[in-house]
């Protein structure tokens, strides 16, 4: 059987994302592992898939005048084929337009019939001959921002309401940029300088992080193929989420609960911050995800992490009251801070999803209250930038559990330049994607009196 080309593979992946709401990052990883694509094509596949999902509504805006019967009359695969072809024509410059059109027509012939391939050929050739329409045609300012940055209108309205138009635009524009690859140095093994030398010795171009002092930014090279990775010198993790472990203010020997731990990035960081001297109980709902925590702990040679399959909402029936010195609730959330890493999120989530997940966030917070020692620290974090899951959730918690108070010492445990660039409230901060070119993240620290 003839092998599929990189664009046919991209079409299959995009159709699964469209039809089954599959997670783009997981599906792409699975596809790369199963396919026999030339390693040189993996980068192009990734770029086409992420870019097409990321720019979906902008691409449809451009396509609209060229599809006479309207996109709703098209079969799903034809619309996706047009989108991914147009994405390459508009946003990539490594492949000539005529080659993109030729391959799109070839795929259309193979999947459809002569009529469909003729239509695909006509649409793409007409686009080559004419200028793309201007966003100035859209008179409403909010709709124009939504289409030009390819975000759903409900989300843009919500961001404007919470942050104002200017900041909302910065967030949306940053969401279109590819995310940086960053790693966290395992300082139980080496210093940050030593880790840099090891990676550079294996041909990886690397520089220090901008936000967290144990972070390295990978400029060039595949870090997962290095001996340093196999030897547990570092973990792939976004810089903003590396601040969570600092927020807990840990000391060696502490007993710590991480309520929603898989795949274990923060649990292992907690262990590293205690120099692997203490106990980190890392809960996750699913057994197969607990295995990921165990695998990561083993690779990093950390003995103090104990993965456990358990619904955090039931934790009080398993552990004794006041048995933990510190608790981390890295809560399930809408993920609106990681859109550029998982672009399908903006198309699959809606306002009702946010309301539904708030209920779970409240249940988890309520369940862990009895488990924390008096004087202990509770850190609540999310990878969303939505106020209702963050500031409003914390206000709800403080209203219902008056034995907790905000922890003003949080600032002292974070790098100085964080508070310079980010607006911090007493005991909490929200990092927006454009602040440091990282994931959007929310962290709050509270003390139990």
Closest C-alpha among 443, 448, 183 to residue 330 = 443
The active-site residue out of 172, 260, 333, 383 is 383
Closest C-alpha among 409, 427, 411, 430 to residue 419 = 411
* Dihedral (Cα; 209, 210, 211, 216), 10-degree rounding: -10
Residue 266 to residue 383: CA distance in whole angstroms: 13
Helix (H) or strand (E) holding 43: helix 39-54
Residue 279 to residue 189: CA distance in whole angstroms: 18
For the question of residue 383 being annotated catalytic, the response is yes
Q: Are 246 and 414 in contact (CB under 8 A)?
A: yes
Residue 419 to residue 366: CA distance in whole angstroms: 29
Residue 232, CB half-sphere, CA atoms under 13 Å: how many? 15
Residue with tokens 């072809």: 85
Residue 252 to residue 263: CA distance in whole angstroms: 23
Structure tokens at 9: 């593979």
Closest C-alpha among 185, 276, 278, 275 to residue 231 = 185
Strand partners, 445: 379
Structure tokens at 334: 């809408």
Strand partners, 430: 442
Using DSSP, state whether 331 is helix, strand or coil: coil
Residue 438 to residue 441: CA distance in whole angstroms: 9
Catalytic positions, written as ranges: 383
């Amino acid at each position: 059987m003839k092998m599929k080309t990189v664009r046919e593979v991209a079409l299959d992946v995009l159709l699964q994302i469209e039809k089954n709401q599959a997670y783009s990052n997981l599906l792409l990883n699975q596809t790369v592992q199963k396919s026999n694509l030339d390693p040189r094509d993996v980068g192009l596949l990734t770029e086409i898939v992420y870019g097409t999902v990321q720019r979906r509504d902008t691409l449809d805006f451009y396509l609209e005048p060229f599809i006479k019967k309207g996109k709703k009359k098209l079969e799903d695969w034809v619309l996706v084929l047009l989108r991914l072809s147009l994405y390459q024509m508009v946003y990539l410059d490594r492949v000539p337009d005529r080659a993109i059109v030729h391959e799109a027509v070839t795929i259309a012939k193979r999947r459809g019939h002569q009529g469909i391939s003729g239509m695909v050929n006509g649409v793409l050739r007409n686009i080559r001959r004419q200028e793309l329409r201007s966003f100035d045609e859209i008179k409403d300012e909010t709709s124009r921002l939504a289409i030009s940055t390819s975000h759903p209108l409900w989300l843009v309205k919500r961001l404007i309401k919470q942050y104002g138009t200017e900041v909302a635009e910065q967030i949306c524009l940053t969401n279109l940029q590819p995310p940086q690859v960053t790693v966290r140095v395992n300082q139980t093994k080496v210093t940050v300088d030593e880790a840099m030398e090891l990676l550079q010795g294996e041909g990886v171009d690397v520089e220090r992080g901008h936000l967290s002092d144990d972070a390295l930014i990978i400029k060039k090279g595949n870090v997962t193929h290095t001996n340093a990775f196999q030897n547990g010198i570092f973990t792939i993790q976004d810089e903003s989420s590396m601040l969570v472990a600092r927020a807990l203010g840990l000391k060696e020997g502490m007993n710590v609960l991480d309520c929603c731990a898989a795949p274990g990035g923060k649990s292992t960081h907690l262990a590293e911050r205690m120099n692997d001297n203490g106990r980190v109980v890392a809960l996750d709902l699913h057994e197969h995800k607990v295995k990921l925590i165990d695998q990561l702990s083993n690779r990093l040679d950390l003995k103090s992490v104990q993965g456990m399959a358990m619904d955090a909402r039931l934790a009080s029936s398993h552990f004794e009251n006041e048995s933990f010195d510190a608790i981390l609730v890295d809560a399930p959330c809408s993920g609106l801070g990681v859109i550029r890493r998982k672009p399908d999120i903006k198309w699959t989530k809606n306002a009702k999803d946010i309301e539904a997940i708030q209920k779970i966030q409240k249940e988890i917070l309520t369940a862990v209250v009895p488990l924390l020692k008096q004087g202990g620290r509770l850190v609540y974090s999310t990878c969303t930038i939505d106020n209702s899951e963050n500031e409003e959730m914390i206000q709800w918690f403080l209203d219902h559990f008056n034995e907790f108070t905000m922890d003003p010492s949080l600032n002292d445990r974070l790098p100085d330049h964080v508070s310079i660039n980010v607006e911090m409230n007493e005991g909490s901060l929200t990092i927006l994607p454009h602040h440091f070119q990282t994931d959007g993240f929310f962290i709050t620290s509270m003390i139990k009196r």
